[in-house]
Amino acid sequence: MHHLSNLPAASAQPKVFSASKLFNAKRFVETKKLSQAEWLEVRRQGIGSSDCAAACELNPYMSML
């Protein structure tokens, strides 16, 4: 049986990370004005944010690219 008193005490101040300080994402193509066909062609040439977790093996539902 585990007792809560055996667990390490939680920090009074949780660590908060800013995504802007951890990651430096680059957008190379402006996609707002592209047609669907143009967007799909650009999409086929790289990875997007949806694929990043899979590429880093962090998504249990997708295999690495």
Domain that holds residue 60: 34-64
Query: What are the start-end ranges of the E strands in the chain?
Result: none
The pLDDT of residue 5 = 55
Structural domains of the chain, count: 1
Asked whether residue 38 is domain-assigned, the answer is yes
* DSSP secondary structure letter of residue 8: P
Asked whether residue 27 is domain-assigned, the answer is no
Q: What is the pLDDT of residues 13-40, one digit of tens each?
A: 656 655 556 666 666 778 888 899 998 9
Asked whether residue 52 is domain-assigned, the answer is yes
Retrieve residue 7's tokens: 């667990």
Q: What is the pLDDT of residues 38-65, one digit of tens each?
A: 989 888 887 777 777 887 888 888 776 5
CA count, 13 A, side-chain hemisphere, 65: 13
Asked whether residue 26 is domain-assigned, the answer is no
